Amino acid sequence: MNGVVLISGGGSNLQSIIDNAEKINLSIQCVVSNRADVYGLERAAKANIPNRVLDHKLFDSRKDFDQELMNVIDEHQPDIVILAGFMRILTVEFIHKYQGKILNIHPSLLPKYPGLNTHQQAIDAGDALHGACVHFVTETLDGGPVIAQKNVKINPEESAETLAAKVLKQEHVLYPKVIHWYTQGRLKLLNETTATLDGQVI
Ligand code: GRF
């Protein structure tokens, strides 16, 4: 199955997807970053994957940026669009175009802590557990149906940094696994709030 991966940063999730690509039957056609000089682009280049920078600051509006992003993506006709640390809010036009084909990984146990600074929020709230989720992307930010999650314990002396590192390690296991379910045709988005795995609502 063909995929395009969108990134904005270091790309450690991208790396885990690259490392597992053959096993999970994914051919990464292109990696697109909205920031130049991010290590994720080097990871793509090292794996001989075509990569592009689309600097959002060079566009007049979110709509214009997303339109160009769609143009770039469509050059590759992907079956799946994988958000791997892509730090941009997408327009409704974009989301509708690839409805049911866009996955994201988010570093919290959704519906807790959508948005940013999730690790600190979990610590400040005194939570015993934190983690990461993979979900289908819908119009609601970090609000599409959750497909799977991994938990980590929050230790008494935990900092946002140590917690982020622990969660990231789990993300690297979780994301390729869920992408594999997708490439096997086992995952379907039914509507804004519901998805199925093997025909069962999850
Ligand atoms: C991860 O924590 C991911 O959940 C979040 O952004 C981070 C990206 O890390 N969406 P990396 O670029 O994959 O290392």
pLDDT for res 57: 97
Give yes or no for a contact between 160 and 113, defined as CB atoms under 8 angstroms apart.
no
Atom of ligand 1 nearest to the CA of 104: 10
Give yes or no for a contact between 86 and 11, defined as CB atoms under 8 angstroms apart.
no
Diameter of the chain measured on Cα atoms: 49
Query: In Å, how far from its chain's centre is CA 7?
Result: 8
Q: Per the CATH hierarchy, to which homologous superfamily does domain 2-109+131-151+172-201 belong?
A: Formyl transferase, N-terminal domain (3.40.50.170)
Q: What are the tokens at 23? A: 């096993």
Tens of pLDDT along the chain (202 residues) come to 999 999 999 999 999 999 999 999 999 999 999 999 999 999 999 999 999 999 999 999 999 999 999 999 999 999 999 999 999 999 999 999 999 999 999 999 999 999 999 999 999 999 999 999 999 999 998 999 999 999 999 999 999 999 999 999 999 999 999 999 999 999 999 999 999 999 999 9
Domain boundaries, the chain: 2-109+131-151+172-201
Give yes or no for a contact between 80 and 103, defined as CB atoms under 8 angstroms apart.
yes
User: How far, in Å, from the CA of 199 to the mean position of ligand 1?
Assistant: 29
Q: What is the pTM of this model?
A: 0.97
Does the Cβ of 85 fall within 6 Å of ligand 1?
A: yes
Q: Is residue 106 annotated as a catalytic residue, yes or no?
A: yes
The strand order across the sheet containing 194-197 reads 187-191, 194-197, 200-201
User: How far, in Å, from the CA of 85 to the mean position of ligand 1?
Assistant: 4
